[in-house]
């Protein structure tokens, strides 16, 4: 993976108005941490970082006040309303030492089990790997066209480039084709209304029981 250069400047704690002014000037807040050193608040060009991300750059050489510092783009925050980058977290790294990173699996092909009523389940779309920062792959292609009903693929089935190793269990399921089961809806049975309860709207009331004869029978003759 290419090491991208990104100019940065140190920044002090900023209030809301100062932060707004900084953004109007094209800067965005970020932080760099790790390697046993204190976290440092910095500001970087929002446009530059956006361009680097379009090329999937994740390893950077930050130039903070003219001093170079290798770093990995650990996390990026985005405003969901306008898709603008709002904050970035960089982790200090040594380009000569392996690191653990999460890489996306690129599932390719159309599982044959789908034509038999199956559905593809992506159990893990990303997996952790370990390699040198300059050897991080953009993604990990995995062909799944041969998968039949109730077949699966695990982490050990994912082809890895040279110098890249797994940082997860080899039997971790990354995807499988499940049999789609359609359950018939149970018939709806209407319960009989309790004695004395009003009938449901639209229901035909049952014939009324004959009323009990009030009083005693008159046994005398008129």
- H-helix segments, 38-149: 46-54
Structure confidence by residue, pLDDT tens digits, 61-114: 999 888 899 999 999 999 888 888 999 999 999 999 999 999 999 999 999 999
Fold of 3-94: Ribosomal Protein L25; Chain P (2.40.240)
- DSSP alpha helices (H): ranges in 31-184? 46-54
CA gap 39, 53 in Å, rounded: 23
Distance CA 58, CA 71 (A): 9
Local structure of 50: helix, strand or coil: helix
Cα separation, 16 vs 13, whole angstroms: 10
* Per-chain mean pLDDT for the chain: 85
- pLDDT tens digits, 17-74: 878 888 888 899 999 999 889 999 999 999 999 999 998 899 999 998 888 999 999 9
pLDDT digits (tens, 9 = 90+) for 134-183: 999 999 999 999 999 999 999 999 999 999 999 999 999 999 999 987 66
Fold exhibited by the domain 100-179: RNA Polymerase Alpha Subunit; Chain A, domain 2 (2.170.120)
Residues 6 or more apart in contact with residue 190 via CB below 8 angstroms: 200
Band of pLDDT at residue 199, cut at 50, 70 and 90: low
Q: Which backbone phi and psi does 203 adopt, to 5 degrees?
A: -80, 145
Q: Is residue 32 within 8 Å of 90, Cβ to Cβ?
A: yes
Exposed / middle / buried, residue 34 (Cβ in 10 Å: 0-12, 13-18, 19+): middle
Query: Tokens 């004869």 identify what position?
Result: 213
Model pTM?
A: 0.72
Instruction: Give residue limits of the domains in the chain.
Output: 3-94, 100-179
188 contacts: CB under 8 Å, gap ≥ 6: none
The pair of structure tokens assigned to 129 is 């790997």
> Which residues contact residue 210 at a Cβ distance below 8 angstroms, ignoring those fewer than 6 apart?
none
Please say whether the beta carbons of 27 and 46 come within 8 A. yes
């Amino acid at each position: 993976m290419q090491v991208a250069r990104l100019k940065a400047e140190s920044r002090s704690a900023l209030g809301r108005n100062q932060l707004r002014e900084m953004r109007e000037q094209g800067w965005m807040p970020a932080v760099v941490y790790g390697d046993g050193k204190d976290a440092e608040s910095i500001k970087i060009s929002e446009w530059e970082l956006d361009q680097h991300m379009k090329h999937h750059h994740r390893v950077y050489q930050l130039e903070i006040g003219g001093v170079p510092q290798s770093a990995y783009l650990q996390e990026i925050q985005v405003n969901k309303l306008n898709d603008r980058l709002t904050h970035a977290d960089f982790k200090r790294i040594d380009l000569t030492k392996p690191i653990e990173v999460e890489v996306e699996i690129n599932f390719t092909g159309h599982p044959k089990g789908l034509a038999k009523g199956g559905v593809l389940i992506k159990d893990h779309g990303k997996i952790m790997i370990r390699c040198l920062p300059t050897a991080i792959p953009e993604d990990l292609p995995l062909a799944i066209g041969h998968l039949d009903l109730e077949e699966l693929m695990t982490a050990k089935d994912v082809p890895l480039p040279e110098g890249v190793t797994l940082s997860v269990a080899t039997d971790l399921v990354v995807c499988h084709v499940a049999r789609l089961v359609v359950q018939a809806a149970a018939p709806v049975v209407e319960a009989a209304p309790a004695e004395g309860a009003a009938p449901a709207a639209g229901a035909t009331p049952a014939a009324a029981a004959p009323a009990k004869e009030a009083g005693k029978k008159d046994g005398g003759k008129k």
